[in-house]
Amino acid sequence: MLGLILRVLPFWVREPLLILLGSLFGAGMVFNAVVEAESRWIMAGLGAALLLVTAYRIRTVTHAWRAREEAGRAPAQQRPAAGPAAPKQKEPNAWAQVFVALALVGALVGAVWLAPRVTGDGTATARKPATCSDDEPGKRLPKAYALTPGAVTGDDLCKALNRSDLADLLGTPGEQPTVAYGNSGTASLTADKVAEPEARVQFPTYTVELSATYNHLTVAQYAKVLAPQTLDHTTHKVLGRPAVFTSDHLMRFRIGGDASGGPATEGPLARTLTVALDREDPGGSFDFTVWSASGAVLPEDGVILGIVEKILPTLPGEPG
């Protein structure tokens, strides 16, 4: 397509058009390099190279324009009379050529934009927000859920967590979830007798997890015995229920690699808000956890409190 434009268009139509396209694409690539975290140096280098080529074309057009003006100002030389002039060939219409060039470029841009939407491939599809999926589809719920009145499932937690405004609440407006799933499992070392569903929603900046544990450990006991063993623990009230904030590092597991290092290393810092199942604190809790694999600063406690106060009332069996 571009080769056809280069062959058929005259200099004074082709060069300004290429300068316009080079400026737009070059500036766009540099802008994307600043915004996108991946491959930013490659994108910035390509954009800068395209802008340099465009600058050289501008210089070429400027010199050609000056030469044309100087030639027009030069006195016309006297020419001897000649015989009958040959019939003048009709020159192509410049405006028609500009229109054809713009139409070709528009068709090219439209094809690039439409291709991923027609084929179901590419970034347009990849950027669709993730929807909740079952971590183990087709698997029956463990008996612990039937023995626990009012127990929510992983799907319930995921639907409540994967809100359309969750990215805004986290302070990262415009981000879309890349992963969203729920799992209806049981607590470890309980012989599958304690229901422990969980859900996870992952964004480019943060990952959030919402889980529920239906055991006999009250939040008051947890805050007194276990929370002091974590980092930066503070007690709060959420919807009139006892709650406690804790911080701890996640574990990062490594398969293969350097044998001198252990298979598990310290991962990113996570902030967790543990909330009692109801105001009476009979035992069991909801846990809301947020962390950032990229090392971004975690949301403040007030932000997390506001998110949990919006999510919990949307769960089945919870007062609205």
What tokens were used for 99?
Answer: 């229109």
Tens-digit pLDDT profile for residues 146-162: 999 999 999 999 999 99
Rg of the chain (C-alpha set)? 32
Rounded CA-CA distance 44/49 in Å is: 9
Rounded CA-CA distance 304/300 in Å is: 7
Rounded CA-CA distance 261/36 in Å is: 32
Q: Could you tell me if 10 and 18 are in contact, meaning their C-beta atoms sit under 8 angstroms apart?
A: no
What tokens were used for 34?
Answer: 């600043």
Average the pLDDT over each of 198-202, 232-236, 257-261 and give the range with the smallest value.
257-261
Spatial CA neighbour of 181 closest among 216, 140, 223, 211: 211
Residue with the two structure tokens 């623990």: 233
Sign of the torsion angle spanned by Cα atoms 283, 286, 292, 297: negative
Rounded CA-CA distance 156/166 in Å is: 16
β-bridge partners, 133: 181
* HSE-CB of 215 using CA atoms within 13 angstroms: 17
Is pLDDT above 70 for 94? no
Residue 53, class by beta-carbon neighbours within 10 Å (0-12 exposed, 13-18 middle, 19+ buried)? middle
Cite the DSSP H helix spans in 166-235. 166-170, 219-221
pTM over 0.85: no
Tell me the range of 67-71, 105-109, 228-232, 234-238 where mean pLDDT is highest. 234-238
Q: What phi and psi, each to the nearest 5 degrees, are found at residue 200?
A: -140, 140
> Which residue did the predictor score with more confidence, 317 or 156?
156
Residue with the two structure tokens 């082709």: 14
> Looking at residue 219, what is its pLDDT?
96
Tens-digit pLDDT profile for residues 34-88: 666 555 677 777 878 877 887 777 877 777 777 777 776 665 554 555 555 555 5
Kind plus residue range of the DSSP H or E element containing 183: strand 179-186
Q: Please state the rounded mean pLDDT for residues 157-179.
A: 96
Rounded CA-CA distance 180/207 in Å is: 10
> Looking at residue 236, what is its pLDDT?
95
Q: Could you tell me if 315 and 152 are in contact, meaning their C-beta atoms sit under 8 angstroms apart?
A: yes
How confident is residue 12, by pLDDT bands cut at 50, 70 and 90? low
Kind plus residue range of the DSSP H or E element containing 243: strand 241-253
Q: Could you tell me if 291 and 250 are in contact, meaning their C-beta atoms sit under 8 angstroms apart?
A: yes
Average the pLDDT over each of 6-20, 80-94, 193-207 and give the range with the smallest value.
80-94
β-bridge partners, 207: 202, 291
Is pLDDT above 50 for 290? yes
Rounded CA-CA distance 135/141 in Å is: 12
